[in-house]
């Protein structure tokens, strides 16, 4: 259950395998349900030089359980909920080829 008047984030929980050879650069995130909007987000799966990052929320953070997490989407509960349901259709785009070596554990929603 989401609280009213609250800003939330969707976190992707992941690891990079030993054989991962890419994902050094930024990854574009686009909301496909809001296709009219050309707004995109940019996230990183690896730590990057702080001079190259526009917003520090979109870089990965180490969790206590050994997994990493990164914000893939932010939303306000008042505007995004439709009949107590939240529909999400995000597309991740990388220009380094495939995302081979990305191990996804799941996603988490929590307040910012």
Does residue 1 lie within any of the structural domains? no
Look at residue 38 in the predicted model and tell me its pLDDT. 64
Residue 35: give the domain boundaries: 7-111
- Say if 14 falls within a structural domain: yes
Q: What are phi and psi of 78, to 5 degrees?
A: -70, -35
Q: How is residue 80 annotated by DSSP?
A: H
Residue 105, H or E segment:
strand 102-111
Has residue 69 been placed in a domain? yes
E-assigned strands of 2-101? 7-16, 27-31, 41-43, 61-62, 68-76, 90-94
Q: Whole-prediction pTM value? A: 0.81
**How would you classify residue 56: left for phi > 0, otherwise alpha for psi between -120 and 50, otherwise beta?**
alpha
Report the pLDDT value the prediction gives residue 83, as an integer from 0 to 100: 60
Nearest residue to 33 (alpha-carbon basis) of 91, 89, 74, 84: 89
pLDDT tens over the chain, length 112 residues: 677 788 889 999 999 998 887 788 888 898 887 766 666 788 889 876 666 556 567 889 999 999 999 999 888 776 555 566 677 788 898 888 788 899 999 999 899 8
pLDDT, residue 71, reads: 92
pLDDT on residue 64: 95
Both structure tokens of 106: 């799941």
| pLDDT for position 46 | 86
Residue 49 domain-assigned (yes or no): yes
Contacts of 19 (CB under 8 A, 6+ apart): 100, 101
Residue 2 lies in a domain: no
Please state the domain count of the chain. Answer: 1
């Amino acid at each position: 259950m989401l609280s009213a008047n609250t800003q939330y984030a969707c976190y992707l929980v992941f690891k990079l395998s030993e054989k991962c050879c890419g994902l050094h650069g930024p990854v574009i995130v686009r909301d496909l349900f809001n296709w009219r909007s050309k707004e995109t987000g940019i996230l990183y799966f690896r730590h990057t030089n702080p001079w190259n990052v526009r917003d520090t929320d979109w870089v990965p953070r180490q969790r206590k359980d050994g997994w990493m997490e990164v914000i893939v989407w932010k939303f306000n509960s008042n505007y995004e909920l439709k009949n107590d349901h939240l529909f999400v259709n995000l597309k991740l785009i990388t220009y380094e080829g495939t995302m081979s070596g990305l191990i996804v554990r799941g996603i988490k929603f929590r307040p910012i």
